[in-house]
Structures are given as structure tokens and as C-alpha cells.
Amino acid sequence: MTTLHIDFVSDVVCPWCAVGLASLQQALARLAPEVHAEISFQPFELNPQMPAEGEEIVAHLTRKYGIGPEQVAANAEAIRQRGAALGFEFGVGKRTRIVNTFDAHRLLHWAGLLGAREQLALKQALLKAYHTDGRDPSDAATLAAVAGEAGLDATAAAAVLASGEHADAVRQAAQRWLKAGIQSVPAVVIEGQYLVSGGQPPEVFEQALRQIAASSSTMC
């Protein structure tokens, strides 16, 4: 078995990150047990200057990308269909606001210190909470509750959020990926040197992982 390290650079409010993670996991399921991956979730803030109250999502997308509400709706439907094909549900009309995700990244960093399994569980729970259920990932009480639902200690999560802990570590990690040239997400960095960008189909991830695993085995 070949074990690969994957840095999954993403943001909780990015729908393509939900698609990309579901697609990557499907690819890994196809490759098991020959190829195993250790996934580390890395922070990327799509809107680091977003105020606490957030912004209405259609207004935000039309302003940011210069498209009309009709195109926003069409894009959302295309993403919904991609998610559905991978088993991820986007709740129609549930996501009404874009919010600041810095605290969500702090909580994910904390979960990563507990272990890869805990961090994956929290990441999946946060993606579902926002994209499927329309919950607010900038709200501390919501974040702590989601951590509990993911099997983590909700009281400990709430303490992390209240303390401001891991803020410097998240900022440093986010800057490191920006300096590495990551400008959009999801960015899937395999073995620290191979990049697969965007919410690619499982076949793309599968081919890349297979080739990298074969190369790693040859070098060993």
C-alpha cells in the first residue's frame, strides 16, 4: 500500500470545495486498499475582509463576479447537480449569506491537532451545516454545536472559539499557501508538489493519485 499526504486547501463557504472533497473521497475509495491518503485541511479565506454580519449571497456574487442573478441561479443549479452526483446535497435556497470563516478555520486547526479523523469529521460536518442546512459557520454557538455533532467535544470547541486560540497559526498557514501561489480553491496538493485545482471529477483525482502513487513506489 502506498500512503500519500494530501493538503486540501479550501474554505467552508466554497461550494466547489464541497464538490472537490466528495470527488476526492470517491477517487480514494476506488483506489483502496492500494492507495491510502492522509488528508490535512488547510485554511483559505475567500473573503478575509468580510464583516461579522456577512453579506446577502446573491448581492455578493453579482458584485464579486460581475454576473446577474440569473447566472448566479444557473451556476448554483450546476453545482447542485454536481454535488448530487457525488452524494453531497446542496440545500436549495438554504445558503442566504456569505460570512467570515476565520473562526471555522481556527476550529478546524484545533481538530487537526486532535487527529486527521477528527479534522475530516469536522470539515464534513461544517460543509453540510452551511451548504446543506444553511447554518451560519461564523456563529460561535453554531460552530461548537457542529463540532459536537461531528463527534468532538462541543464544550472544548466552545472554549477554543472564546479564547481566540490558534489565530496566529491559521493566519500563518493561510499566508504560506498564498505565497505558494494558491489563488483559488479547492487546491489539492499531493505530496507537497503535485497540484490538482478545482472541483474535478473523481476520474481526474483517481488518475493523478494513481500516477503519483506509482511514481512514489518506483522511487522507493
What are the residue boundaries of the structural domains of the chain, listed by start?
2-219
According to DSSP, the residues that pair with 5 across neighbouring strands are 38
Confidence of residue 196 (pLDDT cuts 50, 70, 90): very high
pTM score of the predicted model: 0.96
Confidence of residue 218 (pLDDT cuts 50, 70, 90): low
Residue linked to cell 475567500: 46
> Which region, left, alpha or beta, applies to residue 66 given φ > 0 means left and ψ of -120 to 50 means alpha?
left
Say which CATH architecture domain 2-219 belongs to. Answer: 3-Layer(aba) Sandwich (3.40)
Closest CA to 186 of 7, 8, 42, 1: 8
pLDDT tens figures, 57-96: 999 999 999 999 999 999 999 999 999 999 999 998 899 9
